[in-house]
Structure 1
Amino acid sequence: MVESLVNPEDLAFSESERAAVYRTIAARRDVRRGFIVDRPLPDELLQRLLAAAHSAPSVGLMQPSRFIVIRDLATRKEVHNIFEEANLQAAATYSGAQGEQYSALKLEGILEAPQNLCVVCDTQAARGHRLGRHTMPETAAYSTVCAIQNLWLAGRAEGVGVGWVSILDPVRLRAVLHIPEHILPVAYLCLGYVDQFASAPDLERFGWEKRVPLSTAVCYERYTEETAS
């Protein structure tokens, strides 16, 4: 066995830099409220966030993610109407106390955030020459999810709130944003400066769900059915 001439610890960032990374991860929030309506993001900041997303890992270096920046209020109103209808349909699937709780949740900031961002994926992109996609073609979409997480963390580090709106009819969203059939909509995001970041996720603070410890999600050597509850 050849002994390494490099001390692995020398490759790590400084303690303060590592702390900043972990702090950003812990402080990231799905923001639905508190957007500062009259303060759009400067172009240079938006470009930094998009660059962070574009730098995300992608299978085969295919870089399948595309970013649609939406600032026009009329377009955002169209998307908000799609949300309203989808949200009513979702609310109808709950009843009793849970139904009341669902209706009280704030689940989007489409009109409040001065800019929205639709992140889509070209799942058939020629870049990467299909490396890694022969057996798992869905990794193209996974790559776009990595891009979204990059943007989310960069946003938190910059003091920018990001909220993911998943309660949307993708067919109608395609029509509004002119997304062709071969392009997959992955995320519709609201982003902008906010008046604060919550100390805990909204769904936890308002009693919809609670976090579970890491120990309930980790298996060793093989999968086990001991799931979190």
Structure 2
Amino acid sequence: MDIDLTRQSCVPLVATGAAAGPEEFGPGFRETLYELFRWRRDVRHFATDPIPDDAVEQCLDAACLAPSVGLSQPWRFVSVDAADNRTAVAENFTRANADALAGYSGERAKLYATLKLAGLRDAPRQLAVFCDEGTTQGAGLGQRTMPEMLRYSVVTAVFSFWLHARAHGIGVGWVSILDPVGVARQLEVPPDWKLVAYLCVGRPLDRHETPELHRVGWQQSTPVGRRVLRR
């Protein structure tokens, strides 16, 4: 399999003038941004219609503006387009989901069995997002005491992609019920690339401000600030 390296890393933007951007964003912008955060939801129900490639490219550009430890930019995006690869990932999910169901019992098991936990059969775009744990970029800065910061950096890129996608009216679903080693093997990526996220991307069939797991009774949302500890 040929690996498309065009999204392996991004050149950081460097300010060449005294004013690199606005010193402060106004209240209108902040309100809109907060609204975007509120309506960012995990999507499992997708329309099968294609989404514009240029919109996905813009979302990838936004992802590459995310912060990263030591400016390592360890995110690696693989667009999963081939039918055999998508089928293998869907089968991977089916096995992992069955194992997860076996870990519950009683009413929880009954409810779990009804949940739609992935849009793998419907989403027109699918992206596997890896962390390149062998990257030499950044020379290891900030990783000696917390090596997991490389993967955390990839998570910030995923979230940046997610928010920008929502601004385009595009939904994203993060599938974690997968064997990551199996996905990496199927996509034939380099051995140092470790799966962090598998994203289903497309137009959502419906839109809700409330998380789906809240709506179906699996877990209630926690009010903002309820879990802040003060020391």
Q: TM-score with structure 1 length normalisation?
A: 0.88
Number of matched residues? 210
Contact 1:113–1:190 (8 Å) recurs in 2 = yes
CA distance in 1, matches of 2:124, 2:212: 21
Name the residue aligned to 2:136: 126
SS at match of 1:130: coil
Amino acid at match of 1:96: G
Contact 2:211–2:221 (8 Å) recurs in 1 = no
Structure 1 residue 183 corresponds to structure 2 residue 193: yes
SS at match of 1:184: strand
1:198–1:214 CA distance, 2 compared to 1 (3 A): closer
CA distance in 2, matches of 1:72, 1:110: 13
Q: What is the aligned-residue identity percentage?
A: 42
Aligned-residue offset at 1:207 = 0.4
Contact 1:73–1:111 (8 Å) recurs in 2 = no
Higher mean C-alpha deviation, range 182-191 or range 13-22: 13-22
Gaps of 5+ in 2: 1-21
Aligned-pair Cα RMSD in Å:
1.3
Gaps of 5+ in 1: 1-9, 222-229
Name the residue aligned to 1:137: 147
CA distance in 1, matches of 2:140, 2:105: 46
Name the residue aligned to 2:3: none
1:1-229 superposed matches below 5 A: 11-33=23-45, 35-37=46-48, 39-221=49-231
Higher mean C-alpha deviation, range 95-104 or range 171-180: 171-180
Contact 2:180–2:195 (8 Å) recurs in 1 = yes
Aligned-residue offset at 1:163 = 0.1
Q: TM-score with structure 2 length normalisation?
A: 0.87
CA distance in 2, matches of 1:71, 1:179: 15
Greater Rg over alpha carbons, structure: 1
Higher mean C-alpha deviation, range 179-188 or range 140-149: 179-188
SS at match of 2:103: coil
How far does the alpha carbon of each residue in 1:172-207 deviate from its partner, in whole angstroms, 9 at most, with x for none?
Answer: 111111123211100001001123222311100000
CA distance in 2, matches of 1:18, 1:168: 36
CA distance in 2, matches of 1:123, 1:129: 12
Contact 1:53–1:148 (8 Å) recurs in 2 = yes
